[in-house]
Chains A and B, each alone.
Chain A
């Protein structure tokens, strides 16, 4: 989807900064709890990694940005547990308000509604019987697709032409797996783009590679 998470090439974020060598994994205790809760909640709900990434990208700007990376994970975990009805939609809010001294009624626990879905194997890598549609060295164009659902085809490469650099192991297609509509494994290609193709004649000279699922690509002449 064309949401806040698709950040590549967008402006307005200010400068980057030098790395901090001694940065802790979790700056604050709640961040570690939120990280672990997100992992466990996703499993409890019977969701997969693609569905979790889609939960992240469905957050609004405030929920995505304002509490940083682990705040984003917490907010996505809330989506996971409420959409799968492990908890009622207002349960976390009500409990948090009670924790800070208010007295609000908490909703009863709903009947869980896990997706009708089971992975065919561990992880994301799969085998595909058909031969790859594209060969190393072949010129390919990223299709100009804008979907309301999940995709790993970012805006900045859509419609741009590159060259297949590597053929990677076939993998579950996030676009359908995130919505529990099947794994649909596809060949995955590392496609190399020239900076000027992406950003115009005045671009810094460099090359970019990105992994593209087979259905994202078409042959370029």
Chain B
């Protein structure tokens, strides 16, 4: 087995450095390519993209209908279809219907819309339990749902990705799309939080 499987455990930081050095010495990679990938996911690809989709849906009724009927096409229109986000289904959270997304088998997530998944999404406890006791898990995570709210959990087992369109908070009727974007959180677009009124 490889170093990662061995009983003689070397810290991952050192094994990462070893792997990178060896691939560079073999002439197989350019460290600048790695730098570019890291920078892309640290700065360009993140939940701001998803927030733009949600804000547009909140302020443009035609776009909202399109997004819910054909999420992939409506999101492609804003330029956020790509790696790990090939086909998107958008579901709407309301006062009586709540959607929440998971990937029990790994951590599939709509990278182009929300960036790389947060630690709670990758946590074994979330992956194992949200599909069995979602109301309890959401409560542990800080979201209390009334008894009459119907919960639907979406397990992302294929390349289909799910995006939650959160409920627009009261008191934001006068805000523009640009003013709404900063209010929209990653956690609400996965379905483990609500968006608070400003």
Q: Which residues of chain A have a CB within 8 Å of any CB of chain B?
A: 5-11, 13-21, 23-26, 28-30, 32-37, 39-41, 44, 53, 56-57, 59-60, 62-63, 65-71, 74-75, 77-79, 81-82, 86-87, 89, 91-93, 95-97, 99-100, 109, 123-125, 152-154, 156, 166, 168-169, 171, 174, 188, 190, 198-199, 203-213
* Least Cβ–Cβ distance between A121 and chain B, in angstroms: 11
Contact of B125 among A8, A13, A25, A62 (CB under 8 A): A13
Q: Which residues of A contact B151 (CB under 8 A)?
A: 204-207
Cα–Cα distance between A10 and B2 once the two chains are bound (Å): 27
Q: Which residues of A contact B46 (CB under 8 A)?
A: 25
Does B62 lie at the interface of the complex (its beta carbon under 8 Å from any beta carbon of A)? Answer: no
Q: Which residues of A contact B33 (CB under 8 A)?
A: 36, 40
Q: Give the bracket for the number of chain B residues in contact with chain A.
A: 35 or more
Given the known inter-chain contacts A37-B34, A44-B29, please indicate yes or no for A30 contacting B160, CB distance below 8 A.
Answer: no
Contact of A166 among B10, B89, B116 (CB under 8 A): B89
Pairwise interchain contact A212-B131, C-beta atoms closer than 8 A: no
Interface residues in B1-52 by Cβ distance below 8 A to A read 1-6, 8-10, 12-23, 26, 28-29, 33-34, 37-38, 41-42, 46
* Least Cβ–Cβ distance between A163 and chain B, in angstroms: 13
Q: Which residues of A contact B20 (CB under 8 A)?
A: 33, 37
Given the known inter-chain contacts A6-B105, A20-B119, A74-B12, please indicate yes or no for A14 contacting B28, CB distance below 8 A.
Answer: no
Pairwise interchain contact A19-B14, C-beta atoms closer than 8 A: no
Main secondary structure of the interface of A (DSSP, over half): mixed
Contact of A92 among B15, B28, B124, B134 (CB under 8 A): B15
